[in-house]
């Protein structure tokens, strides 16, 4: 598994297409987390379960949402925290992790 993270519009998708053109890509996993929270599910549990079920090589692209202003809304704060925790889980399990800023990739792992 490869994890690509970064803020909105930082070049994650273009980097993925150029470096891993034939890879299966899971985009915007952070929105799946939002849906899980709305359904009362534990996103970390769901992510671990999903990782254990999914097969083959793939790339996960996620928006980094923890570097900005802390939301006033309780649900938005819970989502932001869950995205960060799931990102940590994915990074730990990933073979490679990249972070993009202004279109420049930095390999973290």
Owner of token pair 């097969």: 55
Residue 44: domain span: 2-107
Write the CA distances from 102 to 6, 8, 18, 33, 61, integer angstroms: 9, 10, 16, 25, 16
Reported as a single tens digit per residue, the pLDDT across 24-78 is 999 999 999 999 999 999 999 999 999 999 988 999 999 998 777 888 999 999 9
Quick check: helix, strand or coil at residue 92?
helix
Please count the structural domains in the chain.
1
What's residue 13's pLDDT?
A: 96
Spatial contact of 44 and 52, defined as CB atoms under 8 Å apart: no
CATH number, domain containing residue 98: 3.40.50.300
pLDDT band of 91, cuts 50, 70, 90: very high
Spatial contact of 100 and 15, defined as CB atoms under 8 Å apart: yes
More confident site: 56 or 109: 109
């Amino acid at each position: 598994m490869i994890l690509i993270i970064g803020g909105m519009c930082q070049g994650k998708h273009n980097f993925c297409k150029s470096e891993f053109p034939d890879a299966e890509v899971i985009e915007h996993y952070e929105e799946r987390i939002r849906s899980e929270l709305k359904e009362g599910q534990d996103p970390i549990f769901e992510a671990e379960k999903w990782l254990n079920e999914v097969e083959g090589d793939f790339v996960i692209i996620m928006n980094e949402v923890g570097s900005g202003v802390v939301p006033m809304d309780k649900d938005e704060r819970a989502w932001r925290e869950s995205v960060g925790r799931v990102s940590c889980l994915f990074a730990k399990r990933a073979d490679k992790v990249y972070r993009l800023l202004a279109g420049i990739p930095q390999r973290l792992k």
